[in-house]
Amino acid sequence: MTTTIAKGLEGVLFTETKLTFINGSEGILTHLGIPIQEWAEKSTFEELSFALLHGRLPGADELARFDAELRANREVPAELLSVIAAYPKGVHPMQALRTAVSHLSLFDAEAEDTAAEDRYRIGVRMIAQFSTIIAAIARAQDGQEIVAPRADLTHAGNFLYMLKGSEPTAEEARLFDIALILHADHGMNASTFTAIATASTLSDMYSAMTSAIGALKGPLHGGANEAVMDMLDEIGSVENAVPYISEKLDHKEKIMGVGHRVYKFFDPRSRVLRDYAAHVSEKQGKSHYYQILETIEKEIVDRLGSKGIYPNVDFYSGVVYSDLGIKKSFFTPIFALARISGWVASVMEYTANNRLLRPDAVYAGAKDQTYPELSDRQ
């Protein structure tokens, strides 16, 4: 009997979801059946978060109440801010975020509660608080005063305000809002799966979110947005882009921000981000980052398009974030700031009909061995 192993769990279906649909061969992504392009154009991060958490669009009153709930939950305990301010300066912001979210649980007397209403309450609070925590980490690492959240700004606007200490323009806040929308959910990606796996043991929301942050951090997943910027810095000039890519491919090395487990065509989010990156680049009089990315995209599509390798969501996002004055080490925390909504919603959806996640492996090790005494071993 032959056993087939689904390496990397590719194509394995373990649950049903009503939240996100992806057609990888045509580059289609929908939330609740609505194309991602429409969400980006017409919606807000607050509305999409409600839609993911509830599995339906909110009415105007419901949206206002949900928005008010997020605004009311932005504060984090002062003790946590003191701890964040004392983190070593050189740590990666994702290390700091993972630690701070775990630490946050210590201040929540109901952190361990796992009924659906507890998961929802904690989840909504965390969607609001991630913003405050990430901005605090950024300020502390720069040796600047931590800025308290403001309840009169949108989720996106308030984050930029806390990060920079000054109110963003309406255009900046909207651009950031769109970036959050584009990153909010994406089916059974590695970090969402990790959150679900943790929650499936009936562990608490803080543990699920902390595990998800750890999974997002890696360069094959959310960490790729920062890795793309490292690559651009290494390439340095437009002239060097093609020789750099050729050399990497000749050595069978991966190019960051391209390729995807599900998309075998353009990731639709990368198309939206490319348009914004182009706009930002024009504004700056043709940023060299954007020009290098355009050159790499052409080279990748020419050389690897037939293998189904195209730019993914992480390819152009950094150009947009840089224009908003965000440092590259904060690109992945910003991914987490958006993806928390998808994590919470997916955990809620899965645990409503929970079963412990526990795959299996084909045993390929030694059999029928006896225990050798230490003194008898080579």
Ligand X SMILES: CC(=O)SCCNC(=O)CCNC(=O)[C@H](O)C(C)(C)COP(=O)(O)OP(=O)(O)OC[C@H]1O[C@@H](n2cnc3c(N)ncnc32)[C@H](O)[C@@H]1OP(=O)(O)O
Ligand Y SMILES: O=C([O-])CC(=O)C(=O)O
Residues in touch with ligand Y (CB under 6 A): 186-187, 189, 260-262, 312-313
Amino acid letter at 15?
T
**By rule CB under 6 A, what count of residues binds ligand X?**
19
Query: Could you say which of ligand Y, ligand X, none residue 259 binds, taking C-beta under 5 to 8 angstroms by partner kind?
Result: ligand X
Query: Could you say which of ligand X, ligand Y, none residue 209 binds, taking C-beta under 5 to 8 angstroms by partner kind?
Result: none
Q: Which residue has the tokens 């994590």?
A: 343
Q: Is 88 left (phi over 0), alpha (psi -120 to 50) or beta?
A: beta
Instruction: Give the Cβ contact number of residue 147 at 10 Å.
Output: 18
Cα–Cα distance list, 319 to 84, 244, 248 (Å) = 28, 19, 22
Residues within window 225-254 making contact with ligand X, judged by CB under 6 A: 254
The answer to whether 236 and 295 are in contact (CB under 8 A) is no
β-bridge mates for residue 21, sequence order: 30
- The closest residue (CB) to ligand Y is 189
Amino acid letter at 9?
L
What does the buried/exposed string (b/e) look like for 322-353 if buried means 16 or more CB atoms within 10 Å of the residue's CB? Answer: bbbebebbbbbbbbbbbbbbbbbbbbbbbbee
Query: Could you say which of ligand X, ligand Y, none residue 8 binds, taking C-beta under 5 to 8 angstroms by partner kind?
Result: ligand X
Name the minimum Å distance from CB 352 to ligand Y. Answer: 22
Name the minimum Å distance from CB 154 to ligand X. Answer: 24
Name the minimum Å distance from CB 122 to ligand Y. Answer: 22
Helix axes 45-54, 116-141, angle to 10 degrees: 150
Max Cα-Cα span within the chain = 75
Residue 192 binds to ligand X (criterion: CB under 6 A): no
**φ and ψ at residue 23, rounded to 5 degrees:** -110, 105
Query: Could you say which of ligand X, ligand Y, none residue 160 binds, taking C-beta under 5 to 8 angstroms by partner kind?
Result: none
152 catalytic? Reply is no
288 catalytic? Reply is no
Instruction: Pick one of 211, 312, 322, 332: the residue that binds ligand X (CB under 6 A).
Output: 312
Instruction: Pick one of 258, 277, 320, 326: the residue that binds ligand X (CB under 6 A).
Output: 258
Query: Could you say which of ligand Y, ligand X, none residue 257 binds, taking C-beta under 5 to 8 angstroms by partner kind?
Result: ligand X
Catalytic residue, from 186, 260, 267, 323: name it.
260
Residue 149 binds to ligand X (criterion: CB under 6 A): no
Nearest CB to ligand Y, comparing residues 80 and 258: 258
- The closest residue (CB) to ligand X is 259
Q: Which among 264, 154, 222, 187 has a CA at the least distance from the CA of 32?
A: 187
Nearest CB to ligand Y, comparing residues 10 and 368: 10
The answer to whether 36 and 30 are in contact (CB under 8 A) is yes
- Token pair belonging to 313: 């969501």
What sign does the dihedral 153-35-293-92 (CA atoms) show? positive
Instruction: Pick one of 256, 273, 292, 293: the residue that binds ligand X (CB under 6 A).
Output: 256
Nearest CB to ligand X, comparing residues 131 and 189: 189
Q: Quote the CA–CA distance of 353 and 292 in Å, as a whole number.
A: 47
Nearest CB to ligand X, comparing residues 254 and 328: 254
Nearest CB to ligand Y, comparing residues 153 and 182: 182
Active-site residue numbers? 260, 314
- Judged by the rule CB under 6 A, the positions of this chain that interact with ligand X are 8, 189, 220-222, 224, 254-261, 307, 309, 312-314
